[in-house]
Amino acid sequence: MILDGQTKVYGIFGYPVKHSKSPTFQTAAFQHLGINAVYVPFEVNPESISQAVESLRVLKISGVNVTIPHKESVIPYVNELSDEVKVIKAANTIKNVDGYLIAYNTDWYGFVEGLKELEPTIEGKKVLVIGAGGSSRAIIYGLLKEGVDKIYLANRTVERAKKLLNEYLQHFKVVDKIIHPIPLADINEIVKEVDIIVNTTSVGLNDEDFPLFNYDFIEQKHTVVDIIYKETKLLKVAKEKGCKYQNGYPMLIHQGAKSFEIWTGQKAPIEVMKKSLNLHY
């Protein structure tokens, strides 16, 4: 890779950002297509987010991904929000067009494309989504776009799940017929009814974490997604039961691929991106 005065700069805003895999696979994609660009990590303290966004204009940085904890807090500082950001209320991608900043969310798309690697038809399916935070909002947006039949939205704080439903009602008609908020304690009763199980919470990150429900109820017919970047207890059980399952990497790769396409207008080399992370799925 030869850098020169015309090299474009892309990156990721996060805090922390040390563990991000995006610089690895985005750089692999730029190199593969011979695009004169670099992609670097930017550790941005939460109190500095407005200055960080302004720096995109000042330094003419072409685009960034935005990760935890900045996905909501960048929103007031950009010039334009794409339609999906207006609904999800979180952005993970910013494109700089001559100082005019446009915010996008590609997490929902990443989730859908990742899931399609296991389950090509999502339309008409019944889904259990656990968690009602920022990741869940993007995933539910994707599932609604795909035309799922039912979403049981299970959350520790059931009020938060109800709030999500009420907000989405303003954007999607009859969504109250699709989304059903439930407490975590009720998962055991409904799990036999669903086709797909998705964990969007951080529960499972530590091996000693309590199970989200009684995993004995998982059956081979279930497709199980955990957006954590490891084989959690939930995924171990899914594997033992012979289910189709995946961790958070397919979603990560596909959200990044969409960001790449938004920035460059070129089709992202998905296989190259996966290979750079040694992902062979």
Residues contributing to the site for ligand ATR (CB under 6 A): 131-136, 155-157, 160, 200-203
Residue 203 or residue 268: which is nearer to ligand ATR going by CB?
Answer: 203
Residue 62 or residue 136: which is nearer to ligand ATR going by CB?
Answer: 136
Catalytic residue among 18, 60, 71, 267: 71
CB of 221 to ligand ATR, least distance (A): 25
CB of 231 to ligand ATR, least distance (A): 19
* Residue in 130, 119, 118, 105 with CA at minimum distance from that of residue 211: 130
Element (H, E) at 43: strand 37-43
**DSSP letter (8 states) at residue 67:** -
CB of 210 to ligand ATR, least distance (A): 8
Cβ-closest residue to ligand ATR?
Answer: 133
Residue 39 or residue 111: which is nearer to ligand ATR going by CB?
Answer: 111
Rounded-to-integer distance, Cα 57 and Cα 265, Å: 20
Rounded to a whole number, what is the distance in angstroms from the first to the last CA of the chain?
Answer: 28
SS3 of 64, please?
strand
CB of 246 to ligand ATR, least distance (A): 17
Q: Give residues with Cβ within 8 angstroms of 219, minimum separation 6.
A: 192, 241, 243
Distances 255 to 150, 166, 259, 261 between C-alpha atoms, Å: 24, 26, 6, 10
Strands 196-199 and 179-183: unpaired
Residue 92 or residue 96: which is nearer to ligand ATR going by CB?
Answer: 92
**DSSP letter (8 states) at residue 135:** H
Residue 68 or residue 169: which is nearer to ligand ATR going by CB?
Answer: 68
CB of 96 to ligand ATR, least distance (A): 24
Active site residue 275: no
Query: Any idea which residues carry the catalytic annotation?
Result: 71
